[in-house]
Amino acid sequence: MAEEVRAEMVANVWKVVVTAGDTVADGDTLVILESMKMEIPVLAESAGTVQELRVNEGDVVQEGDVIAVIG
């Protein structure tokens, strides 16, 4: 089943670490957000393939926005 990884807070996308099609393990860093001068890594919560990556570096994400879909 596909897992949607969402942003926990309003933030800027500082770094996108993976690309669509990559295989990831549980706990791998997908993207690094930045909010209020703090870097916040967004991690995969299950192993699988990155089916979709919905953000680019420099984007602003809102709380609850889907960042990636892991399947």
Q: Does 1 bind other proteins (CB under 8 A)?
A: no
Closest to 18 (Cα-Cα) out of 46, 45, 52: 52
Q: Which is nearer to other proteins, 26 or 34 (CB)?
A: 34
Q: Which of 40, 41, 66, 69 binds other proteins (CB under 8 A)?
A: 40
| String marking each residue 51-70 x if it binds other proteins according to CB under 8 A | ---------x----------
Whole-number Å distance between alpha carbons of 59 and 71:
23
- Binding-site ranges for other proteins (CB under 8 A): 8-12, 34-38, 40, 60
